[in-house]
């Protein structure tokens, strides 16, 4: 790919987006962040990035892309609450489908060289198939959030076919690390760490035997940087391929935070996927990406960061 000098990061005040911004600035790339601060925070913003407090669903957003003409756009902004997407699918679609479509159209008009889309692996598959899921398996999203991510991938593919606009859709597994919001409904590691450090009770949904594929945020940033540099286009899974039970996560974080929390359970969440993991061999082959942060190391860094927060 030709040299990248300018980037836009949507959702750059959020958890994953802000780490991507930091990595770009380190590489001396000029960065503009577009974020409406709905879940993101000003303190996550890199002071060397330009900041536009604008929603991706607003008419101003395509104008910013056309004015700045970035070489690459990292699209991380999204309504990320799955339950909210079920309660209000129209609101979810306005941001997650129409926002992504407006981005793709403006990017094509502004001759952007590549879009890197934060998609979701966990939202694409259900217990109907056995993990680890590969990109070859048919996506069967069951929530409006997952449907919107799939629609985003398909629109990006449409713009690739019709306008020659390259894209990489990175389907993340369960990402964790510093700056993750511990007040949301997702992000079990952030929620457990945040609450345990404050001595607040933690409850495991159901038996805790349900599994997820946890990938550390630095590895996710690395996948984004490789996606920017390499010539690949298409969908790539970004996880570890390993399943970890939620009760194991409970035990590990409990041990890191003093081990005082009794193990308590809530009723199981209706419709919750029981097992999940991503087969990431395609990303290894085409992007030369593989995760390098071991879970114990990632958990330790995450708990350390939460400990420093007030
Ligand atoms: N965290 C995970 O485990 C995970 C897994 C799969 C996919 N993803 C995807 O990665 C991306 C980043 O997620 P995150 O975990 O960092 O969440 P986050 O909530 O920390 O980040 C999302 C950011 O987008 C901003 N935003 C939301 N709606 C917006 C809008 N309409 N206009 C402008 N900005 C808006 C928020 O203020 C926030 O800063 C999302 O697209 C999410 O769907 C995350």
Q: Which residues are catalytic?
A: 145
CATH number at residue 189: 3.90.25.10
Contacts of 210 (CB under 8 A, 6+ apart): 245, 246, 272, 273, 274, 275
- Shared domain for 247 and 121, answered yes or no, is no
Question: How many domains would you assign to the chain?
Answer: 2
Q: What is the pLDDT of residues 68-88, one digit of tens each?
A: 999 999 999 999 999 999 999
pLDDT of residue 2: 67
Query: Across the chain, which distance is largest between two alpha carbons, in Å?
Result: 58
Q: Is residue 1, in this structure, part of any structural domain at all?
A: no
Number of helices and strands in the chain (H, E): 11, 13
Q: Is residue 54, in this structure, part of any structural domain at all?
A: yes
Q: Is residue 30, in this structure, part of any structural domain at all?
A: yes
* CA-to-CA separations, 284 to 112, 218, 227, 278, 291, in angstroms, rounded: 26, 16, 11, 12, 9
Does the Cβ of 181 fall within 6 Å of ligand 1?
yes
pLDDT of residue 1: 63
Which of the 8 DSSP states describes residue 241?
S
Residue nearest (by alpha carbon) to ligand 1 atom 1: 175
Q: How far is the CA of 69 from the centre of ligand 1 (A)?
A: 23
Provide the domain limits for residue 259. Answer: 178-211+243-276+297-308
SS3 state of residue 266: strand
- Shared domain for 124 and 66, answered yes or no, is yes
Q: Which residue is associated with the tokens 């900041």? A: 51
Tokens matching residue 142: 């069951």
- Shared domain for 17 and 132, answered yes or no, is yes
CATH number at residue 66: 3.40.50.720
Q: Is residue 286, in this structure, part of any structural domain at all?
A: yes
pLDDT of residue 270: 83
- Shared domain for 115 and 201, answered yes or no, is no
Does the Cβ of 289 fall within 6 Å of ligand 1?
no
Does the Cβ of 95 fall within 6 Å of ligand 1?
yes
Reference 257, options 191, 189, 303; nearest CA is: 303
Q: What is the DSSP string of 74-114?
A: EE------HHHHHH-HHHHHIIIIIHHHHHHHHHHHTT-SE
Reference 197, options 304, 295, 298; nearest CA is: 304
pLDDT of residue 34: 98
Q: Is residue 196, in this structure, part of any structural domain at all?
A: yes
Q: How far is the CA of 228 from the centre of ligand 1 (A)?
A: 19
* CA-to-CA separations, 162 to 23, 103, 155, 157, 166, in angstroms, rounded: 31, 15, 10, 9, 11
Q: How far is the CA of 78 from the centre of ligand 1 (A)?
A: 5
- Shared domain for 94 and 112, answered yes or no, is yes
Query: Residue 30: in which H helix or E strand, if any?
Result: strand 30-34
Stretches where the chain sits below pLDDT 50 are none
pLDDT of residue 251: 97
Does the Cβ of 144 fall within 6 Å of ligand 1?
no
Q: How far is the CA of 178 from the centre of ligand 1 (A)?
A: 14
- Shared domain for 269 and 286, answered yes or no, is no
Q: Is residue 90, in this structure, part of any structural domain at all?
A: yes
Atom of ligand 1 nearest to the CA of 80: 43
- Shared domain for 192 and 223, answered yes or no, is no
- Shared domain for 115 and 232, answered yes or no, is yes
- Shared domain for 267 and 236, answered yes or no, is no
pLDDT of residue 119: 98
- Shared domain for 38 and 154, answered yes or no, is yes
pLDDT of residue 25: 98
Does the Cβ of 56 fall within 6 Å of ligand 1?
yes
Query: Residue 146: in which H helix or E strand, if any?
Result: helix 144-163
- Shared domain for 251 and 235, answered yes or no, is no
pLDDT of residue 135: 98
- Shared domain for 30 and 77, answered yes or no, is yes
């Amino acid at each position: 790919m030709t040299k990248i000098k300018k980037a836009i990061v949507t959702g750059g005040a959020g958890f994953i987006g802000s780490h991507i911004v930091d990595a770009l600035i380190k590489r001396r790339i000029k960065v503009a962040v577009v974020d409406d601060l709905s879940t993101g925070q000003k303190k996550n913003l890199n002071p060397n990035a330009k900041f536009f407090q604008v929603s991706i669903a607003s008419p101003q957003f395509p104008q910013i892309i056309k004015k700045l003409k970035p070489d690459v756009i990292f699209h991380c902004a999204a309504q990320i609450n799955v339950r909210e997407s079920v309660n209000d699918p129209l609101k979810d679609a306005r941001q997650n489908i129409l926002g992504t479509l407006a981005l793709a159209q403006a990017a094509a008009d502004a001759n952007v060289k590549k879009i890197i889309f934060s998609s979701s692996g966990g939202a694409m598959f259900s217990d109907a198939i056995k993990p680890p899921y590969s990109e070859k398996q048919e996506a069967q999203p069951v929530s409006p959030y997952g449907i919107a991510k799939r629609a985003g991938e398909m629109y990006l593919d449409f713009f690739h076919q019709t306008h020659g606009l390259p894209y990489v859709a990175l389907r993340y597994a369960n990402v964790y690390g510093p700056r993750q919001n511990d007040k949301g409904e997702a992000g079990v590691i952030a929620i457990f760490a945040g609450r345990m450090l404050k001595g607040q009770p933690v409850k495991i949904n159901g038996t805790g035997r349900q599994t997820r594929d946890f990938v550390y945020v630095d590895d996710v940033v690395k996948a984004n940087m490789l996606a920017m540099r390499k010539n690949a286009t298409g969908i790539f899974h970004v996880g570890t391929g390993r399943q970890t039970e939620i009760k194991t996560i409970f035990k590990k974080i409990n041990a890191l935070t003093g081990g005082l929390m009794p193990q308590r359970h809530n009723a199981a969440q209706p419709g919750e996927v029981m097992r999940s993991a991503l087969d990431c061999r395609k990303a290894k082959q085409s992007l030369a990406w593989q995760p390098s942060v071991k879970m114990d190391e990632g958990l330790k860094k995450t708990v350390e960061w939460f400990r420093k927060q007030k």
